[in-house]
Amino acid sequence: MAEYKGLDGNEEDIDPYFGIAKLDEQLKGIPEKKIVLISASPSVGNEVFGYQIIHKNITSGVKVLVFLNRTSPQSYLTDMKDYDFPANDNLFILDAYSGITGIKSDETDHIKVINNPYDIEEVKSKVIGALGNGYGLIVIDSFSLLADFFNFPFVLSFIDEIKNAVVSHNSAAVLLFTDWGYEKENVDKLLSKVNSTIEVKGIEKRVIFGQYFAVLKCDWVKEANALSSVLFKAIKPGGIKVYFPKILVTGPTDAGKSSFIHSASKDAVSVDKLGGTIALDHGSVDFKGYRADLFGTPGQERFDPLLKMLGEEAIGVFLIVDSTKPEQFPRAVEMLRKTETYGLPVVVIANKADLKGALKGEEIRERLHLDSAITLIQTVAENLSTVDPNQPTKLKSEGINEALSALFKQLT
Amino acid sequence: MEAIQTGFKSFDELTGGLEYRKVYSLFGDKESGKEQFLYKLVQSALSAKIAIVYTLTSKSYSELISEFNSRGININPYLGNSFKILDDFSRTNSPSATNNSYAKILNGPLDLTGLSVSLSTVNGDFIKDAKPVINIFDNLSNLLMYNNPVTVYRFLQFICGKAKLAGVTTLFSVDTVMHTPDVIETIKNLSDAIIDLKLDNGKRYFKISGISKEVLQFKELE
C-alpha cells in the first residue's frame, strides 16, 4: 500500500500515487481502474513524470509494468537512476524497442521482449496478457509513439482494451503522450477516453523560461476545474519539484535571516562583510517535493533603498525576528512595508527562542500585532559551541521544517 | 547581422553565406562531400563566435571529435562552450552511456521527444548567453529510416518553427540515395533553401536555391 505524506504529514492509503507534490495533494493519487494521460509539449517532455511515478510506486510495494518503445530498457534504467530513481524488484519492463533496432535484449525475469514491435497483434496481446499478472500500475512510454507507429484508430481502440483489462484486474494506467500537433479531432477522442489528463507545458518566447503542469481533467475529484497550473522544475537528481521562484526572507539586523537561508538550503550564498549581510543572500530549498528560491534582504537601515527592488515579484515572505529584542519589532513590520510584501502569505519566525530574555510566542504575537491567521514558528540555533564564526549559525531543522511547511501550504 | 560564412570561398562569395533564422537542407550522395561541407562550416562558424548544436544520428560523439582532429580542425577549445553535441547514436551500442559537459547522450532515433527537449534546452542556454546559433543535423536519413516519414515531418515542422522563433539557423544533411522521391520532396518543402552537392571528375560542386542569391548551375566548391 503506497503512502503519501503531504505537507500536512497526513498518510493516506490509496494507491498508486504520483509521487509528485501538489498532484498527490489535489488528486489523492491514482485510484484503481483509472487511466491517466500525461500530455506534454515536445519542447518540455514528460519522461521524468514517468520515472517519478514508477519510482514512487515500486518503492511503496506496488508492482509496476512499463511498456517501453522509446528506448532500450538499459538506457531507461540508466536515466531513471540519473534522477535518483533506482529500479527494484517491483519493476517489470515490456521491451518494444530492441526488436526495432535489431539488437535483441535478453529476456530476464524483469524484462520481457516484444519480438516484432511493428506487429500490432503481438503488441496488443502481450500488453493485455501481461496486465493479468498482478500489476498495480502500467506505464506506457510512449503512447504517442504507438500512434506514430500504427495510427489513431488503433490507439483509440487499444485504450478501450487497456481500460477493460485495468478494470477487471484492479490496476491503473499512466500513458505518456507527446502532442506533436496531431489532428485535434483525434486528440479530443483520446482525451475523452481517459479519466484524467495532465498537461505539461513550457512558458516560452525565444527560450523556455518556465515549465508547468496543469490538471485539465480528473473524473474522481470534485471541482477538478479549480486546480490551477503549477510551476515545476525537473531536477537531476531529485525529479519533479513544484517550484516557487521567489520567496523573500526579511527582518531586522542580526535576527538570523542568513542563518535561516543557510539552514534551509544546501547551496546558499551570501554577499557579506564581517558577518552582516550587506547585499543579499540566496539559497534554493528542496522540501517534500517542493523547490523554492529564497532571497534574503540586508537588515540595516542604510540599505533600505534596495528593499523595494528585492521584494518585487516575491510570492511569499518569511519575516525573521529576534525573540530577545522586542525593541526591533516595529522595524520588522516596517520592513514588510518597505519590501512592499505586506499582505502576501507570510510566516513569522521568532528566532533565538531558547536564549535568556526571549519572549514567549504569545507575547511576540501581541507585540507584532499579528492576526491570528498568521503562523508564528519559534526557532533555535544548533549547538553554539560548534559555531564557525565565518559562517551563518545553523538553526535546528525542526523549526525550519515547520516554517517551510507552513508557508508552502499557504502558497499551494 | 552578417550571414554565416561556410569557409568555402566560392560558396560564400556567390551566396553571401548562410542566413540566420533560415532552414537549409543539404542533399548529396555518399561521396558528394556533405561531411566536408559540415565540418568546414563548423570550423568557420565557431571562429566567428557562433554557437553550434550538432546532432549525430549515425556516429558517436567521440568518432565525430576524432574526425575533426584528423582533419586538423582544433575543436577542443570550443567543446562545451560554443560547441555542443546531441549524440543520438552511442546508446545503440552502449545503452548505459551518459552525458558529459559537451555531449548529451540521447535515446536513439525513436525518441524524438528527447531530441526535441534537448535541442530546446541547449538552444535556450546559448541564446541566454547572447550567442547566435546553428543547429546542424548529421544526418536526417537515420531518423527517417527508423520512423514513419509523417512522424519525422511533424518533428521537423515543430523544431524548425521553434528555431525560427528563436532566431536559430537550421541545417539538415540528407543522403539523397537513401530516400524515395516523395520523401525528398517533402523535406525540400520544409526547407527555405536547398543546397545540392556532387562529386564529378575528382572535383566537388554545389548549387543552391531558395535564397536571394541563388546559384542554379553547379559551381565548383573550393
One DSSP character per residue, A322-381 reads ETT-GGGHHHHHHHHHHTT-TTS-EEEEEE-TTSTTPPPHHHHHHHHT--TTSEEEE--B
> Is residue B4, in this structure, part of any structural domain at all?
no
| B96 at A interface, C-beta within 8 A | yes
Check residue A179 and give its pLDDT: 96
What is the second-level CATH architecture of the domain A244-411?
Answer: 3-Layer(aba) Sandwich (3.40)
Mean pLDDT of A317-322: 96
- Element spanning A192, H or E: helix A184-193
Most A CBs within 10 Å: which of B58, B117, B146, as the mutation test of the A interface? B117
- Residue-range domain boundaries for chain A: 4-237, 244-411
Check residue A208 and give its pLDDT: 81
Check residue A272 and give its pLDDT: 64
Distance from CA of B68 to the nearest CA of A (A): 28
pLDDT, one tens digit per residue, over A230-281 is 999 999 999 999 999 999 999 998 999 999 999 999 878 776 655 666 567 8
Q: Which amino acid is at A375?
A: T
Check residue A353 and give its pLDDT: 93
Q: pLDDT band at residue A101, thresholds of 50, 70 and 90?
A: confident
Question: Cα-flanking dihedrals φ and ψ of residue B21, to 5°?
Answer: 70, 5
> Over 60: is that where the pLDDT of B94 sits?
yes
Integer Cα distance of B104 and A29 in angstroms: 33
B110 interaction partners in chain A (CB closer than 8 Å): 69-71, 97, 100, 145
Whether residue B135 contacts residue B53, with contact meaning beta carbons closer than 8 Å, is answered with yes
> Could you report the predicted ipTM of this complex, rounded to two decimals?
0.91
> Is residue B1, in this structure, part of any structural domain at all?
no
- Name the average pLDDT for chain A: 89
How is residue A101 written as a grid cell?
Answer: 533496432
CB contact under 8 A, B121 and A208: yes
> Is residue B212, in this structure, part of any structural domain at all?
yes
Check residue A292 and give its pLDDT: 94
Mean pLDDT of B60-80: 96
Please give the residue of chain B at the shortest CA–CA distance from A180: B154
Integer Cα distance of B9 and A80 in angstroms: 48
Check residue A281 and give its pLDDT: 86
pLDDT, one tens digit per residue, over A108-164 is 999 999 999 999 999 999 999 999 999 999 999 999 999 999 999 999 999 999 999
> Over 50: is that where the pLDDT of B206 sits?
yes
Question: Distance of alpha carbon B214 from its chain centroid, rounded?
Answer: 20
Q: How many CA atoms lie within 13 A of B74 on its CB side?
A: 2
| A42 at B interface, C-beta within 8 A | yes
Number of domains into which chain B is organized: 1
Beta-carbon contacts of B151 under 8 Å, excluding residues fewer than 6 positions away, are: A148, A180, B112
A142 interaction partners in chain B (CB closer than 8 Å): 111, 113
Check residue A2 and give its pLDDT: 42
Whether residue B87 contacts residue B107, with contact meaning beta carbons closer than 8 Å, is answered with no
Task: Give residue B96's domain range.
Answer: 9-220
| A237 at B interface, C-beta within 8 A | no
B124 interaction partners in chain A (CB closer than 8 Å): 207-208
> Is residue B176, in this structure, part of any structural domain at all?
yes
CATH of domain A4-237: 3.40.50.300
**CATH of residue B94:** 3.40.50.300
Check residue A104 and give its pLDDT: 72
Check residue A1 and give its pLDDT: 36
Check residue A26 and give its pLDDT: 85
Name the residue facing A45 among B92, B114, B150 (closest C-beta). B114
pLDDT, one tens digit per residue, over A35-47 is 999 999 999 999 9
> Is residue B175, in this structure, part of any structural domain at all?
yes
| B150 at A interface, C-beta within 8 A | yes
| A206 at B interface, C-beta within 8 A | yes
Check residue B163 and give its pLDDT: 94
CB contact under 8 A, A101 and B162: no
By three-state DSSP, how is residue A222 classified?
coil
Name the residue facing B165 among A45, A145, A206 (closest C-beta). A206
Mean pLDDT of A349-357: 94
A42 interaction partners in chain B (CB closer than 8 Å): 112-113, 116-117, 155, 158-159
How is residue B142 written as a grid cell?
Answer: 537515420
Check residue A392 and give its pLDDT: 80
B107 interaction partners in chain A (CB closer than 8 Å): 70-72, 75, 79
Mean pLDDT of B140-164: 93
pLDDT, one tens digit per residue, over B117-146 is 999 999 999 999 999 999 999 999 999 999
How is residue A54 written as a grid cell?
Answer: 514508477
> Is residue B38, in this structure, part of any structural domain at all?
yes
Mean pLDDT of A387-401: 84
User: Picking from A8-12, A192-196, A284-288, A291-295, which range would have the lowest pLDDT averaged per residue?
Assistant: A8-12
> Over 90: is that where the pLDDT of A371 sits?
no
Whether residue A43 contacts residue A28, with contact meaning beta carbons closer than 8 Å, is answered with no
pLDDT, one tens digit per residue, over A172-184 is 999 999 999 999 9
Q: Give A312's DSSP letter.
A: T
Q: Point out which residues pair with A377 in neighbouring strands.
A: A349
